Amino acid sequence: MTTRILGLQSVVIALVAGAVFCLAVAPTMAGNASANGAMAVATGPIDSDVEGFFTLDFRTGELQCFVFNTRTQQIGGRFRASVSTDLRLDVNTKPSYLLVTGYASFVRGAGVVRPANSIVYVTDTNSGNFAAYSVPWNSNLAKAAKPQVGNLVLLQVGSARPAAVPAP
């Protein structure tokens, strides 16, 4: 009986220790998004220690990503793209955007600039057109507390609607 209780206690201790270890080691990869009629915002991972804040202005069609520098506690990165241009939207139609982020661990190349750990997806619900973007991230500049400014990298443009479905 004593051996059975000790065995059960050992299992419980091991499970609790394992859960605590996993919670302490594995960061949560959660992005959040929100929108109203004028702007959409979302967050997504950039590097292992920082996330980006994405904004999409419905009036201008400008998508931006702001990244805080963990050393200076100030915005250390700003990246931009013109979603309305990339989606080839009709200038006479008011866009209706959706903005979400996803996680991606891209294969690293030989250079110091690599894609961030997020892909940001923008869809115009009127046309069904979508675009996917990445942030060109330089972790060496971030560690040196140097600013990063540039364009978001357009990864893909497509349509979420089959060609046979007419636009509303």
Per-residue pLDDT reduced to its tens digit, 21-53:
333 433 444 466 666 778 999 999 999 899 999
Q: State the Cα–Cα distance between residues 152 and 136, nearest whole angstrom.
A: 7
Give Rg (Cα) of the chain: 21
pTM for this structure? 0.76
How many C-beta atoms surround the C-beta of residue 65 within 10 A?
Answer: 28
119-123 LR contacts (CB < 8 Å, sep 24+): 119/44, 119/155, 120/42, 120/44, 120/54, 120/63, 120/65, 120/152, 122/56, 122/63, 122/83, 122/87, 122/97, 122/98, 123/97, 123/98, 123/160
Q: What is the pLDDT of residues 131-150, one digit of tens each?
A: 999 999 999 999 999 999 99
User: For residue range 62-102, what is the model confidence (pLDDT) as tens digits?
Assistant: 999 999 998 999 999 999 999 999 999 888 888 899 999 99
Which of 132, 145, 143, 122 minimizes the C-alpha distance to 47? 143
pLDDT score at 105: 85
